[in-house]
Structure 1
Amino acid sequence: MTAPFTRRVALTLAAAVLTATAAQADFPERTITMVIPFAAGGSTDLVGRVVAERMGRELGQQIVVQNVGGGGGSLGAAQVAEADPDGYTILMGTVATHALNPLILKQKPYDPVADFAPVSLLVVVPNVLAVNPELPVNTVQELIDLAKTDPLAYASSGNGTPLHLSGELFKSMAGIEMTHIPYRGSGPALTDVLGNQVPVIFDNLPSASGHINSGKLRALGVTTAERAPSFPDVPTIAETLPGYETYTWNALFAPAGTPPETIELLNAAAKVAMADPAVIDRMGTFSATIVASSPEELGAHVQAEMTKWEPVVQEADVSLD
């Protein structure tokens, strides 16, 4: 009985492998879901929707965006980490999901390395310090001076996000106090700042750029070391606080265990999308720098980002349950 049973098992396993291989060869055969781990309207949402549309055309299947906000991006990231590793659920990850949350969260809902298969680092994005125009400040220094005499609050896309830490680093370097008001994404945070419920915001430049151009927000400074090409008249915060620098990035990840050939197809589609002149122009409007890396390069980038942000998190003494 042992030999026939063994042969049956072997034949069954061989058939399963052949079926899986054939299925992957035909990937994608149905709609793909791209999880955006923040509320609609923020930088990651804007980048994700542009990329999803163009990648979908390249792959011949629609890529549907699903916003899963909360937990500074950890809820959406955890959802993808637990998804079937077949390429039909992918994550638009950020520095928050793959560097900050693993350092900040006491309860770890996922491992940023072991639970994901890197696909491609897409863009690097500047952040911006902006205020409601009713706040009587026009420069970073004027904001610092006001905060020393008048209690202020600043909004961000959530606890533990790079925008939260941008604010904490700013407070530390400027020697001021400002109350942090976290939201479930840049969209809701912007709504309250535009309505002057909160006077100050640290936001990604892509999601804030339209409001800056319309005059509904006043940009005081970008967080990168160099001025943003799309807003050359907006100084860097470092011009007032030498050494200040933060930024965010967007990258595609799949669940760990996704077949290498599927990762290769997703990576190839991402590279085609990021080379499209229309996508390049769209990203350029908010000074996002296109990278379009290999999976291996993204994996190395995640490791480097965790190393870079660890001392910042420790200095800010940020931890979340």
Structure 2
Amino acid sequence: MKSIPRVLALAAGLLAASAAFSQSYPSMPVTMVVPFAAGSGTDAVARVVAKKLGERLKQPVLVDNRAGANAQIAAQAVAKAKPDGYTLFMTTNTSHSANPSLILNLKYDPIKDFTPVARVGELPFALVVNKDDPARTLREWIDNTKAQPGKLSYATPNSTSLVASETIKRIARLDVLSVPYKSSPQALTDLIGGTVQMYVVDVGSGMGMIQSGSVRVLGVTTKEPLKSMPNVVPIVKEVPGFDLTSWNGIFGPAGMPKPIVDKINAELQQALADKEVQKSLAQLGFEIWPTKTPEEFAKYVGDQLAHWNTLVKQAGIRAQ
């Protein structure tokens, strides 16, 4: 029985130490790892959020692009980082929803190896074609593609593009070839050059090309038209059964102290409420949709993991 007071005293000491640590956090710059290349939609969103979050934390939040292997390189690096709040991971459904169903022998666990901090929002995707493509609507593109079996291709630099394209391919019964890419900017360049004929691009990285007329938008992945492109028809209108959401959120390595997680979450909520941040993200086509608590985000991540497992199976994609 004498050991009980000691245990309670130790627990109280640990709580006090954790609280003191969180009060002094951060005392140096924070790194925000992004799993995609500079110029991608996630990178653009990360830079807007990191700047404002750094202002609120009173320490710089530095964006570190670690692109490659469908977000695996960045995910593994963050999973192995020290869980002290100085390494954050702004990522998407690619690393935490789709990869477990797409990649055999995945070297990280999206649930066990990370601490959920907050969902940031949704980065919509749009189906785009070359500006000289004869199709003016998604239905026309589908009909034209069916008339050329095996002759057309589409770009897939991330899991959202892959699953979205394969879902359209399956439902519409198209014979088109998937061409993998390392980054969205490279895929866009080849679409404009005619190397590939279609690309389901994240609106963040594609907005400039869309606005300049270099590519033509035939549909968006959201269920309702985007505020930034109100006249573009959602893909589900032409491809019934299409249901895909690309989310964006922030994690840390597993084992982060809760006071620090709560502090980052609270400051992030304030950053996303900032009018200038909202304006900058809206220009990227990004839909702000934050979770209120880390626990709410954790549940969402688990639900999305199951949902994307179903999407991948329905698309007929085999893990490799």
Fold match (TM-score > 0.5): yes
- Report how many residues are paired: 310
Which of 260, 277, 280 aligns to 1:279? It is 277
What does residue 247 of structure 2 align with? 249
Contact 2:19 2:259 in 1 (8 A): no
Q: What is the Cα deviation at residue 147 of structure 1?
A: 1.1
CA deviation vs aligned residue, 1:28-63 (integer Å, no higher than 9, x gap): 111111110011111111111110111011101111
Q: What is the Cα deviation at residue 22 of structure 1?
A: 4.0
Name the aligned partner's letter for residue 197 of structure 1. T
Which of 239, 243, 260 aligns to 1:262? It is 260
Q: For the residues of structure 2 that align with 1:46 and 1:228, how far apart are their CA atoms?
A: 18
User: Alignment RMSD, CA only?
Assistant: 2.2
CA deviation vs aligned residue, 1:206-235 (integer Å, no higher than 9, x gap): 211121111011000111111111101111
Q: What is the Cα deviation at residue 286 of structure 1?
A: 3.8
Tell me if 1:236 matches 2:227.
Answer: no
Contact 2:52 2:271 in 1 (8 A): yes
Unaligned runs of 5+ in 1: 1-12
Q: What is the Cα deviation at residue 195 of structure 1?
A: 2.6
Name the aligned partner's letter for residue 29 of structure 1. S
Change beyond 3 A, Cα 1:299–1:16: closer
Partner of 2:228: helix, strand, or coil?
coil
CA deviation vs aligned residue, 1:240-288 (integer Å, no higher than 9, x gap): 2223232201100000111111101111121111001011112222442
How do residues 1-321 of structure 1 correspond to structure 2 at under 5 angstroms?
A: 22-150=20-148, 151-158=151-158, 161-293=159-291, 294-321=293-320
Name the aligned partner's letter for residue 167 of structure 2. L
CA deviation vs aligned residue, 1:48-101 (integer Å, no higher than 9, x gap): 111011101110111111111112112111110110000110101211111111
Partner of 1:318: helix, strand, or coil?
coil
Change beyond 3 A, Cα 1:255–1:131: same
Identity %, equivalent residues: 36
Q: For the residues of structure 2 that align with 1:215 and 1:85, how far apart are their CA atoms?
A: 45
Partner of 1:247: helix, strand, or coil?
coil
Report the TM-score, using the length of structure 1 for normalisation. Answer: 0.91
Partner of 2:139: helix, strand, or coil?
helix
Unaligned runs of 5+ in 2: 1-10
Name the aligned partner's letter for residue 310 of structure 1. N
